[in-house]
A and B are shown apart, each in its own frame.
Chain A
Amino acid sequence: MAVKKDLSIKCLGVDCENPFFLSSSPVGGCYDMVAKCFETGWGGVFFKTVGIFVADECSPRFDQTNKEGIPWLGFKNMEQISDKPTEKNFEYIYKLKKDYPDKVVVASIMGSSDKEWRDLAKMADQAGADLIEGNFSCPQMTSHDMGSDVGTNVELVEAYSKAVSETTNIPFIAKMTPNCKNMEEPARAAIKGGAAAVSAINTIKSITNVDFENNTGMPVVNGKSSISGYSGAAVRPIALRFCAQVMQDPEMNKLLKANKKDFGYGHEMSGIGGIETWKDAAEFLSVGCRNVQVTTAIMQYGYRIVEDMISGMMHFMEEKGYNKLDDFIGCVLPNLIPAEELNRDFKVLPKFDNKKCVGCGRCYISCYDAAHQAIDWDEKKRRPVLLEDDCVGCQLCLNVCPVQDCITTGEIKWKKGRKKVKVATKQHFD
């Protein structure tokens, strides 16, 4: 590798080779799988959730959404927690930690009672797990005493977090469900109970596709289907929002300090949701996450995707002049402000490059049908003509243009009587 950057990071006091982890799911469900992922370069694993309850799964159990021929825009699964015996899973965790002492093994657990949570925490402790994650968020459990039904009940989140943190000194991460009104309340409850951090998001309750052969949802199980968790690229924007909101909650820091759960970096978080590339991972780090967890992209492409996450992240850091991940972790948080605080005194006109323009007229159609009729169409030349006075600077045109660098950021126009200031705009578009 021509560019070499230090991707190591401390998460809740644990040294991690890099911030790339498997999330608790089928991609990390046995010794051999996790051993292979470690060999491929992943920094750690959130092992597939272990319970006292052993799952009895349906078949088939997956579906995916696509758009314009691009598959796996989103992915739906109906799997629950591990279908292997409880002891067997902790044996795997023990053996993995023994064979790969430098990799991070997180035991993901899920109980259905205070006692079960304590028993599982004890077993995780004995197995030598580096960290424990509490699964409060699987939306397709066959029991309402487990999964996202628990994660939306703040009393239970606090009680079970307490059960774990009273049983073991291993830092406890509470995994949040996005199927909630807001995430700050259950997150605070987890920290109040003694958790050291939260991770987010688990999957979103969904119906991905309707099957008109059987008049049910997908996947079809004996002519029926169930609402269950949606993941993959489509959920990334929602996941980022939850992570940023939890990270921006000032209460979290206060509670962590009061509970003495600050490992030197204040409020820590683990980001999950549609991560496929280094860029996706960097986005989660930029809103304050200290590691990221991946499943859906591995289901589609395999463990090897971590190679380009590692290499791509190093190139990004080289380009930006960062030497360690902490140089940019959380860098976006100060710039995410409430809508009422945005400067609304100006408009940014689009700039058209008539040489690059291929004359498809998509900007004209979208401006007319969905914006402010501020683009005229020169039928002879097949080129757009901007009507500057009518243009409101929404940049819908820039977003629909199919040609690279054809419509870009143009002139700034100030609304009447507004104070001119220096304006930062985006100049380079992918």
Chain B
Amino acid sequence: MSKVEKAKYTAEAQAGFNHRTAMEEAARCLLCHDAPCSEGCPAGTDPGKFIRSIRFRNAKGAAETIRENNILGGSCARICPYDRLCEEACSRCGIDKPIQIGKLQRYAIEQEKIFKMKTLKAPAKKMKEKVACVGAGPASLACAAELAKAGYKVTVFDREEKAGGVMTYGIVPTRLPQKVVDHDIAQVKGLGVKFVLGKKVKPAELEAFDAVFVGVGLWGAKVPPIKGTNLKGVYAAADFLKQARTKKTFKPGKKVVVVGGGDVAVDCAVTAKLLGAEDVRIVYRRTLEEAPGNMTEFQYALSLGIGITTNMAPSSVLGTNKVEAVKFKGRPKVTESSELKLEANTVVFAIGQGAEDFSELAPVKLTEKGMIKATAKGKTSSKKYFAGGDIVNGGKTVVEAVASGKEAAASIIEFLQKGVK
């Protein structure tokens, strides 16, 4: 029998480094002249620098580097797709295997917590301008932190009870424990950023602010245009994950089918498994090589006994009132004549999220898909409004959201300073 690592829904899937194992791993680092790992991080977390700090017995310095560059360094350490970012760029790949950069980042941030470090400080003298960040997800948090560091008064609004956005409501806690998210958010709060949570922000409230950052994310449910998606037991990924995270009594049923090929699909499948589902399958319309999900996440799913089927797309959901089965058809030209019917108590569509209507909050130009049209620097069609994260890029990673939040903050500062002149 294969060894199945069955974890609890809230237990961490992977143990971190201790001082010794962290040093051993840091000693493997080649300490490159022009560290390609640092080039490989969208948010500029600078692994080349923080690994060197660990290697020279300066874990606190490592934590500082991470925190200064990436306000969500703790969360990113857990959920970044390293294998296609910093670790893929690692020079050590030319010898054997890359440095476990994410795990070293996690170690450094754990030291930050153990030593109760307060790395970031907002200047005592505040600028007179106020900025609102709509949404308390990664992009907004990163933007708010940068602005607070520059002395601006920032308020973050979110309709949910807790801050964190996708990190709090959309990722399985085995992969990203809530305490890690909370620790990151505590750093933002430590900079004096105000949080208004649990109610929708009204357009009139935003008028008092000199600039507005829109980082509302993508929370519109997206299901394919096939029969039966209105049946009970059919979920869009975000809704499924949020129910699992917030309702203590949530039970997915014995048989769960997840449709999709990204990290969110794996998160849904893992969530279902860890909440007691017996038969969980991920079905993806393309191959695993083409899947956007992180290979280590797929491997983790496999280790839990979750099945993965590829080159099959959903064609209809069957059942009366409640879902009973899902039918799939093969991929054109590849598995064209194949058919598949899976029994299911729950079906989760993890095929991306759509934008919601936020036109009354922000008078900005949109794309055909309803995303905000913004430059790489977070500028929108409207001077006072800036945007970043999933609502601009259509749904990417947390680290990319952090990067866009930082960019937008720089644009906001530039805008406000020009305004003063």
Docked Cα-Cα span, A359 to B36, in Å, equals 9
Secondary structure of the B side of the interface? helix
Whether A68 and B32, one on each chain, are in contact in the complex, defined by CB atoms closer than 8 angstroms, is no
**CB <8 Å contact, B30 and A362:** yes
Q: Which of A314-360 contact B (CB under 8 A)?
A: 357-360
Check A360–B91 contact: CB distance below 8 A: yes
- Chain A 369-409 interface mask (CB, 8 Å, partner B; 1/0): 00000000101001000000000000000000011000000
Q: Is B94 an interface residue (CB 8 A)?
A: yes
From residue A181, how far is it (CB to closest CB) to chain B in Å?
Answer: 35
Q: Tell me if A234 is interfacial: C-beta within 8 Å of chain B.
A: no
A69 vs B27: C-alpha distance when bound (angstroms) = 7
Provide the residues of chain B in CB contact with A382, threshold 8 Å: 34, 36
Contact present for B27 and A70 (CB under 8 Å): yes
Q: Return chain B residues, CB-CB under 8 Å to A402.
A: 30, 95
Q: Does A227 contact B (CB under 8 A)?
A: no
Within 8 A of A (CB), among B2-27: 20-21, 23-27
- Does chain B have a CB within 8 A of A41? no
Please count how many residues in chain B sit with their CB below 8 Å of the partner chain's CB atoms.
19
Chain B neighbourhood of A377, CB < 8 A: 33-34
Cβ contact within 8 Å between B33 and A360: yes
> Is A68's CB under 8 angstroms from B26's CB?
yes
Closest to B20 in A: A69
> Is A73 in contact with chain B by the CB < 8 A criterion?
no
Residue A298 at the chain B interface, CB threshold 8 Å: no
B91 x A359 contact (CB < 8 A):
yes
Closest to B34 in A: A361
Residue of A70, A357, A360 touching B31 (CB-CB under 8 A): A360
A364 part of interface (Cβ distance < 8 Å) = yes
Contacts of B27 in A (CB 8 A): 68-70
| A-facing residues in B28-55 (Cβ within 8 Å) | 30-34, 36, 55
- Is A123 at the interface (CB under 8 A from chain B)? no
CA distance in complex: A70, B31 (Å) = 17
Partner of B32, one of A70, A360, A379: A360
Task: Let me know if A141 is at the binding interface, CB within 8 A.
Answer: no
Task: Find chain B residues with CB under 8 A from A68 CB.
Answer: 23-24, 26-27, 55
User: Is B322 close to A, CB under 8 A?
Assistant: no
Report chain A residues within 8 Å CB of B55: 68
* A358–B94 touching, CB < 8 Å: yes
| Cβ of B232 under 8 Å from chain A | no
CB of A365 within 8 Å of the partner chain: yes
Cβ contact within 8 Å between B33 and A362: yes
**B194 interface residue per 8 A CB criterion:** no
Nearest CB of B to A394, in Å = 19
Give chain B nearest CB distance to A319 CB in angstroms: 27
In the complex, chain A residues whose CB is within 8 Å of the CB of B24: 68-69
A contact residues around B189 at 8 Å (CB):
none
Asked if B32 and A361 make an inter-chain contact with CB atoms under 8 angstroms apart, the answer reads yes
User: How many Å from the CB of B323 to the closest CB on chain A?
Assistant: 52
Is A359 a contact of B94 with CB atoms below 8 Å? Answer: yes
Q: Out of A69, A358, A361, A365, which one reaches B92, CB within 8 Å?
A: A358
Which chain A positions have C-beta within 8 A of B92?
A: 358
Alpha-carbon distance A212/B95, docked complex (angstroms) = 39
Contact of A360 among B23, B25, B30 (CB under 8 A): B30
Residues on A with C-beta less than 8 A from B20 are 69
A365 to B31, CA, bound (A): 10
Can you name the residue of chain B whose Cβ is closest to the Cβ of A404?
Answer: B95
- Chain B residues 74 to 110 lying within 8 A of chain A, measured CB to CB, are 91-95
Do residues B23 and A358 form an inter-chain contact, with CB atoms below 8 A?
no
Interface hub of B26, B30, B31 (most chain A Cβ within 10 A): B30
Q: Does B32 lie within 8 Å of A362, measured CB to CB?
A: yes
Bound-complex Cα distance A362 to B48 (A): 13
- The answer to whether A358 touches B34, judged by C-beta atoms less than 8 angstroms apart, is no
Which B residues lie within 8 Å of A359 (CB)? 32, 36, 91, 94
Question: Is B94 within 8 A of A379, CB to CB?
Answer: no
- Distance between A372 CB and nearest chain B CB, rounded to angstroms: 17
CB pair A403–B94 under 8 Å, yes or no, is yes
Distance of A379 from chain B, by nearest CB (Å):
7
Rounded to whole angstroms, the CA-CA distance of A361 and B92 in the bound complex is 12
Among residues of A, the one whose C-beta sits closest to the C-beta of B90 is A358
The answer to whether A379 touches B34 (Cβ under 8 A) is: yes
Q: In the complex, A362 Cα to B31 Cα: how many Å?
A: 7
Q: How far is the CA of A358 from the CA of B32 in the complex (A)?
A: 10
Residue in B closest to A384 when the chains form the complex, CB atoms: B33
The docked-state distance in angstroms from the alpha carbon of A362 to that of B94 is 14
User: What sequence of 0s and 1s flags, for each residue 249-285 of chain B, a beta carbon within 8 Å of any chain A beta carbon?
Assistant: 0000000000000000000000000000000000000
In whole angstroms, what is the CA distance A402 to B24 when docked?
Answer: 15
Could you tell me the distance between the alpha carbons of A357 and B91 in the complex, rounded to whole angstroms? Answer: 9
A365-B33 CB under 8 A given contacts A69-B20, A358-B91, A359-B91 = yes
B30 in contact with A358 (CB, 8 Å): yes
Could you tell me the distance between the alpha carbons of A364 and B31 in the complex, rounded to whole angstroms? 12
A358 contact set on B, CB distance < 8 A: 30, 91-95
Given the complex, which residues of A lie within 8 Å of B23, measured CB to CB? 68-69
The CA of A379 and the CA of B26, in the complex, are separated in Å by 25
Residue in B21, B26, B55, B94 with the greatest tally of chain A CB atoms within 10 Å: B94
Q: Which of B332-374 contact A (CB under 8 A)?
A: none
Give CA–CA (A365, B55) in the complex, Å: 17
Given the contacts A358-B94, A359-B91, A359-B94, A69 and B26 also touching, CB distance less than 8 Å: yes
Closest Cβ of chain B to A396, distance in Å, is 14
**In the complex the two chains form, is A361's CB within 8 Å of B95's CB?**
no
Minimum CB–CB distance from A70 to chain B (whole Å) comes to 7
Listed residue (A69, A377, A382, A403) with the most chain B CB atoms within 10 angstroms of its CB = A69
Q: Tell me how far the C-beta of A68 lies from the nearest C-beta in chain B, rounded to whole angstroms.
A: 4
Closest to A355 in B: B94
Closest to A70 in B: B27
Mark each residue of chain A from 206 to 247: 1 if its CB lies under 8 Å from any CB of chain B, else 0: 000000000000000000000000000000000000000000
Shortest beta-carbon distance from B114 to chain A in Å: 16
Nearest to B21 among chain A residues (CB) is A69
Nearest B-chain residue to A66, judged by Cβ: B23
Nearest Cβ on chain B to A51's Cβ, whole angstroms = 39
| B192: min CB distance to chain A, Å | 34
Residues 403-420 of A contacting B (Cβ, < 8 Å): 403
Report the minimum CB–CB distance from A375 to chain B (whole Å): 10
Distance of A429 from chain B, by nearest CB (Å): 15
Within 8 A of A (CB), among B95-131: 95
Complex contacts, A360 vs chain B, CB 8 Å = 30-33, 91
Chain A nearest Cβ from B269, distance in angstroms:
37
A303 to B21, CA, bound (A): 27
A56-89: contact bitstring with B at CB < 8 Å (1 yes, 0 no)?
0000000000001110000000000000000000
Distance in angstroms from A7 CB to nearest chain B CB is 35
Which of B25, B26, B33 is in CB contact (< 8 Å) with A364?
B33
Residue of A nearest to B56 (CB): A68
* Pairs across A and B, CB under 8 Å, 17 listed: A68-B23, A68-B26, A68-B27, A68-B55, A357-B94, A358-B92, A358-B94, A358-B95, A360-B32, A360-B33, A361-B33, A362-B31, A362-B32, A365-B33, A377-B33, A402-B95, A403-B94
**Which 8 A-B residue pairs are closest in the complex by CB-CB distance?**
A361-B33, A358-B94, A68-B27, A69-B23, A69-B24, A360-B30, A360-B32, A358-B91
- 14 further A-B contacts with Cβ under 8 Å, apart from A358-B30, A360-B30, A403-B94, are A68-B24, A68-B55, A69-B23, A69-B25, A70-B27, A357-B94, A358-B94, A358-B95, A360-B33, A361-B34, A362-B31, A362-B33, A365-B33, A382-B34
